[in-house]
Amino acid sequence: MKRRQLLAGTALALGLASGFGTVALADDPLRVGFVYIGPVGDQGWTFIHDQARQEAEAHFDGRIETTYVESVPYGADAERVMTQMALSGTDMIFATTFGYGPDVNAVAARFPNVAFEHATGYLQEEPNVSLYNARFYEGRAVIGHIAGRMTETNTIGYIASFPIPEVVMGINSAFLHARAVNPDVNFRVVWVYSWFDPAQEAAAAEALIEQGVDVLMQHTDSTAAIRIAQERGVLAFGQAADMSAAAPDVHLTAIINQWAPYYIERIQARLDGTWEARNTWYGIGDGMVGIAPLHERLPDDVRAEAEGMIAAISAGEYHPFTGPINRQDGSPWLAEGEIAPDGDLLGMRFFVEGMTGDVPN
Amino acid sequence: MLRLERRPQPSRVWVWATPVLAVCLTMIAGGILFAILGKDPVAAIRMIFWDPLFSQQFAAFSRPQLLVKAGPLILIAVGLAIGFRAGIWNIGAEGQYIIGALCAAAVALAFFPSGPADVRLFGTVLFSFDAAPSRWWLFPLTIVAGAAGGFLWAMIPAILKTRFNTNEILVSLLLVYVAEKLLAAASVGWLRNPQGAGFPGSRNLSQFPAVANPEILPGTGMHWGVAIAFVAVIFGYVLLHRHMLGFHVQLAGQAPRAARFAGVAPARLVVFCLGISGLLAGLAGMFEVTGPARMITIDFNVGYGFTAIIVAFLGRLHPVGIVLAGLLMALTYIGGELAQFMLGLPSAAIQVFQGMLLFFLLALDMLSNYRIRLAYREAA
Amino acid sequence: MMDLSSINPVVLVAALMVAATPILLAAIGELVVEKAGVLNLGVEGMMITGAVTGFAFAVTSGNPYLGMVAAATGGALLALIFALLTQYLMANQVATGLALTLFGLGFSALLGQGYSGVSPPRTPRLDFGWLAEIPVLGPIVFRHDPLVYVSIIIVAAVWWFLRYSRAGRILRAVGENHDAAHALGYRVRMVRVAAIAFGGACAGLGGAYLSLIRVPQWTEGMTAGAGWIALALVVFASWRPWRALLGAYLFGGIVTLQLTLQAAGWRIPVEYLAMAPYLVTIVVLVVISSGRARRTLAAPGSLGRPFHAAG
């Protein structure tokens, strides 16, 4: 305990003293490292982070040098990879999954001059650890609205990965906005307990379609489900990237993870010597959550409503979780006009009123 | 025509020479691969084999990390080797590792102080409190829980084999998947950190001093798990080479019928071999979850149980060989990571490289047990 | 909500056949390998290599069938590494098999680098005309893609081969007791190498089923453990071809039913149900290993043991 306090104190002192400004010399490119949980060829989460890395590198045109290590598990491996990166003279490290939290903070304590950016996590114990996350639920609200308007069977299918707040929040957001425009709508949620298992996702899509689902949403990484939707003529939405190439006829739109603007902003700050730890939760308006082009098969009124909603959310005029909203058991959560506190959303483990089925636990 | 002739005794020269030769061949083949991928082969090979050990920049950190990475591999592989020598095939060490960690974490978390041990904001400790008085027995209890978890999980294939003659290879392998599902259920359910903002994963056990397994000497990579791994190596050596039981193990593997005449009870041997390997795998899981891994997560297991099988064979099922094999595997992991971010090699290339290393080691191993003879073709 | 009537058993059966086909293909290949007395744990590595070679050839040539041939070839070639090591260089089968999986996963990722996000040419379903319209039977039997039928044909062929052909008897003899087979003048090694290559080809085809038909796309690591399930299946089947088919359909059935029940709004403990196939396999294993059935159903006598002709 003593030793850790001492270390933390030293880290703080060093961090303040260095101020992150003095490191980058004029000719020396800033070294930026990325640590990925999956392979860059996963076509999903990691692939998109790596695209953003490449965009950032192109943007700075020689002023930065990026490196990455892929398929790094949490724990000892992640800690070692980040330490070695820091030892190699890396000035800034992006750790791109929530599970890296303790590892990021442990390494950050030892390298106070390295700026750490930790995606979708919550642990911020050191002065040189920033958190960043995207308000994907804003995108879910938009696709929920479209789904509610487009469904004919009033049954919408949702392929979910793990019962964690991020996923539950997305289901609730989509459901609320589908119900808002179609009071008869029902959601069928299938938990596949995996972020990435193409065969399982495909089977889940088929099972849902057999249950009369005519609009499909997913919170898993692969394009397997949307390809099944294309084949079966069921409407669907892309996840994390524009997946219209995989399903040109049924891909109504997609929620796109847009990390590049944030990466560029933060690397710029590091170059300028103005970087400091933050806790960022950006949405559509900030450009971190993108909405892919709306499919031409959407009727004009639906298209206009969707665009209106995107505009309202971007402008900060509308929050997808605005009361009155009750929990599934009927107990009140948000009063009339009340906006959900971020803390409630980040820890959400309940369905809202009207949803059927349980959040497994 | 070339012909193989079994040596009466493994060749002493080749036992030592084959690994060296295999590493050299892997460097050549791997160098060709890296060159095809457009990377400097010499730099890549140096990065993998040399830099983690000797570069000024990394060695001080990487060398101890070799122990951290090799520790669980060695600990599990020693246990497996005992069974493999007896012809008892536990390939489900991954599952026993998971269950050991789960049991250990469950016990540790049952005693977790109600709040965090210290509350920090931006690195400054705001206040600390010690809800748990010094419970010296808690760490040993956690160790026992981990060992028991691994042991009991291995007892399932053991008992099924002795009672119903069920193949232990398959049962132990199948139980890995069951263990993985239990791990996922625990991470999002009953072991989830109540203060973890709903994220899957347990509390951080390294912040719970009574059960934490930190480095014994800071900067050496030596945590209790590594220490126990070396104890296990000595234990394995004594057992296999200096003890009657070890003789029985060898006999059962090489001549099962003779073993029976010598009074070896096959059922007890099965229980012993699976039990010891399960116990050590469970211990490895326990030291990992309270040490380097810090907590239970959905992806807590990273394949140590399977890699340890390879390590056991690379080490020729000999405890000392296993230490060297474990360190070599650890070196390719750590050096491979360096090569990834220093040279931009994809992790797939490192995997292929490791695969080639294993192929060469396994292939050349033949030289220590067989002689190659030129012979005229015999009539079949 | 808890309404069983919303689940159509005919559709369920048709869906489970599709879900089972990749593991069935890999399992029937491994079954032959194990019947010859060889345990190859590298199924996952061969499957994923087949998935990528099949995908690459199909995309390049525009012909999915050419892709399937390439997948089988790719799987077989990888298996020959295993054959070389275990049959000629006397390496341990368990360790070599695991190394093969490690190598295959990395190698496939390297090969597939240019093929992420590409759509493969479509594999049409076979057109049985009016047969497909027969109630119940039509959807189950006559509305599948060609590989579903191929997998069943392979199962039938393996069954016939092992049971009635002379070569099949030799293969079984080699697997039961390689020393006796050698004494009888059979070429143990040749038989085993052929069996290993066949196993690799089947695993490769199973992988191609995933990348060309089931999903269809190429992504690193896309087999996601299917090869290991195939290994379990061989044991579940107690080394009998038709039981492998039954087991694969049962396994596919549990997966499909689990998802279907969820989709129908049933509250089921998913995280525990996911363990069910493995636990069921263990139970079956116990049942077939004990009792009277044992002698006829036990594993091949020489399974996993190295063969070296003395002299």
Kindly report, residue by residue over B72-115, the tens digit of the pLDDT.
999 999 999 999 998 888 989 999 999 999 999 999 888 877 65
Would you say residue A276 lies in a domain? Answer: no
Whether B204 and A163 lie within 8 Å, measured CB to CB? no
Q: Does C271 touch chain A (CB under 8 A)?
A: yes
What is the pLDDT, as a whole number, of residue A6? 39
Q: Are A352 and A328 in contact (CB under 8 A)?
A: yes
Report whether pLDDT(A4) > 50.
no
pLDDT value at position B380? 41
What would the pLDDT profile of A291-300 be if each residue is shown by its tens digit?
Answer: 999 999 999 9
Length of chain A: 361
Of C102, C187, C278, the CB nearest to B177: C278
Q: Would you call C176 an interface residue with chain B, using a CB distance cutoff of 8 Å?
A: no
| Chain segment C13-33, per-residue pLDDT in tens | 888 999 999 999 999 999 999
Write the pLDDT tens digit of every residue in A106-158: 999 999 999 999 998 888 999 999 999 999 999 999 999 999 999 999 999 99
Looking at the partner chain, which of C219, C226, C262 has a beta carbon nearest the beta carbon of A43?
C219
Residue B228's pLDDT is 93
**CB neighbour class for A326 (10 Å; exposed up to 12, middle 13-18, buried from 19):** middle
Cα angle for residues C283, C169, C240 (degrees, 5° grid): 20
Distances (CA, A) of B350 to A31, A126, B119, B362: 23, 33, 41, 18
A341 touches chain B (CB under 8 A): no
Q: Are residues A198 and A338 in the same domain?
A: yes
Would residue C274 count as lying in a domain?
A: no
Q: Where does a domain end: A134, A160, A189?
A: A134
Subunits with 3+ C-beta pairs closer than 8 A to B: A, C
Q: Is residue C150 part of a domain?
A: yes
- Rounded Cα distance between B76 and A18, Å, is 44
A281 touches chain B (CB under 8 A): no
Q: Check CB contact of C220 with chain B, cutoff 8 Å.
A: yes
Show the CA angle centred on residue A316, arms to residues A315 and A322, nearest 5°.
Answer: 140
Highest mean pLDDT among B65-79, B107-121, B234-248, C221-235: B65-79
Contact B90, B240 (CB under 8 A): no
Contacts of A227 in chain C (CB under 8 A): 215-217
Considering the domain architecture, whether residues A117 and A16 belong to the same structural domain is answered as yes
CB of A361 within 8 A of CB of A351? Answer: no
Within-domain flag for A175: yes
Instruction: List beta partners, residue A106.
Output: none
Rounded average pLDDT over C49-66: 96
The percent of residues in chain B predicted with pLDDT above 90, rounded, is 48
Euclidean distance between CA atoms B73 and B90, whole angstroms: 15
Q: Which residues contact B377 (CB under 8 A, 6 or more apart)?
A: B1
* A106 neighbors A80 (Cβ within 8 angstroms): no
Q: What is the mean pLDDT of residues A224-252?
A: 92
Give the whole-angstrom CA distance, residue C182 versus residue C225: 36
Residue C148, domain member (yes or no):
yes
Residues 6 or more apart whose CB falls under 8 angstroms from that of A300 comprise none
- In B72-92, which positions are buried (b, 16+ CB within 10 angstroms) versus exposed (e)? bbbbbbbbbbbbbbbbbbbbb
Neighbours of A106 (CB within 10 A): 19
Give domain status of residue C256, yes or no: no
Same domain, residue pair A109 and A189: no
Q: Does A155 fall in a domain?
A: yes
Between C293 and A351, the more confident residue is A351
CB-closest option in A8, A76, A165 to B198 = A165
Mean pLDDT of chain A: 89
Residue C39, min C-alpha distance to chain A (Å): 26
**pLDDT given at position B112:** 78
Q: What ipTM was estimated for this complex? A: 0.89
From the CA atom positions of chain A, what is the Rg in Å? 21
Q: Cβ B340–A84 below 8 Å, yes or no? A: no
Number of helices (H), then strands (E), in chain C:
14, 0
Predicted local distance difference test score (pLDDT) of residue B218:
79
> Are B122 and A360 inside 8 Å of each other by CB?
no
Please indicate whether, in this complex, the C-beta atoms of B347 and A162 are within 8 angstroms of each other.
no
Taking residues C283-303, report their average pLDDT. Answer: 69
Nearest neighbour of A223 by CB, restricted to C217, C220, C262: C217
* Residue B327 tokens, joined: 């360190």
Note whether A241 and A306 are same-domain residues.
yes
Per CB-CB distance under 8 Å, the chain B contacts of C270 are none
**pLDDT (mean) for C187-191:** 93
Q: What is the pLDDT of residue B132?
A: 53
The pLDDT value recorded for residue A302 is 96
C125 burial via Cβ count (<10 Å: 0-12, 13-18, 19+)? middle
Chain C residue whose CA is closest to A225: C215
Q: Based on the domain organization, do A243 and A166 belong to the same domain?
A: yes
Residue A145 belongs to domain spanning: 136-256+289-346
Are C116 and A224 a contacting pair at CB < 8 A? no
The 3-class secondary structure across C156-178, one letter per residue, is HHHHHHHHHCHHHHHHHHHHHCH
Which of C228, C271, C299 has its CB closest to that of B181?
C271
CA distance A87 to chain B (A): 6
Tell me: pLDDT of A15 over 50.
no
> Per-residue confidence at A95, pLDDT binned at 50, 70, 90?
very high
Question: pLDDT band at residue C1, thresholds of 50, 70 and 90?
Answer: very low
**Residue A158 and residue A118 share a domain:** no
Residue A158 resides in a domain: yes
Q: Which of A68, A103, A134 is the last residue of a domain?
A: A134
State residue A272's pLDDT score: 93
Instruction: Note whether A130 and A240 are same-domain residues.
Output: no
Minimal C-alpha gap between B361 and chain C (Å) = 9
Closest residue on chain C to B189 (Cα): C271
A74·B120 Cβ contact <8 A = no
Query: Cα–Cα distance between A65 and A242 in angstroms, integer?
Result: 28
Task: State whether residue C186 sits within 8 Å of chain B by CB.
Answer: no
Give percent above pLDDT 70 in chain C. 95
Same domain, A103 and A192: no
Chain C residues within 8 A of B160 when measuring between CB atoms = 282, 285-286, 289
Q: B158 near B168, Cβ under 8 Å?
A: yes
Look at residue A195 and tell me if it is in a domain.
Answer: yes
Look at residue C106 in the predicted model and tell me its pLDDT: 93
> Which residue of chain C is at minimal alpha-carbon distance from B160?
C286
Q: How confident is the model at residue A19 (pLDDT cuts 50, 70, 90)?
A: very low
CB distance B106 to B286 below 8 Å: no
Give mean pLDDT, residues A232-249: 91
Is a pLDDT exceeding 50 seen at residue A13?
A: no
Domain-located, residue A356: no
- Bridge partners of residue A117, in order along the sequence: A94, A130
Give C 56-95 residues with CB within 8 A of chain B: 81, 84-85, 89-92, 94-95
- Give the torsion through C-alpha atoms of A235, A240, A245, A249, to 10 deg: 10
Answer yes or no: is pLDDT of B290 > 60: yes
- CB of A259 within 8 Å of any CB in chain B? no
pLDDT for C143 equals 80
A215 domain residue, yes or no:
yes
Contact A69 B340 (CB under 8 A): yes
Query: Are the Cβ atoms of A207 and C263 closer than 8 angstroms?
Result: yes
Q: Which residue has the tokens 């004594």?
A: B238
* 3-class secondary-structure state, position A240: strand
Residue C113, chain A, CB below 8 Å: the answer is yes
Residue C140 lies in domain:
10-227
CB contact under 8 A, B293 and A346: no
Give the closest-approach CA distance of C72 to chain B in angstroms: 21
The structural domain count of chain A equals: 2
Cβ contacts of B292 on chain A, cutoff 8 Å: 75-76, 79
Instruction: Tell me the three state secondary structure of residue B83.
Output: helix
Report the residue of chain C nearest B361, measured CA to CA: C91
Collapsing DSSP states into helix, strand and coil, what is residue A159? strand
Within this chain, do residues A225 and A245 fall inside the same structural domain, yes or no? yes
- Residue A159 pairs in a beta bridge with A190, A218
Cβ separation A9–B123 shorter than 8 A: yes
Looking at residue A12, its pLDDT comes to 41
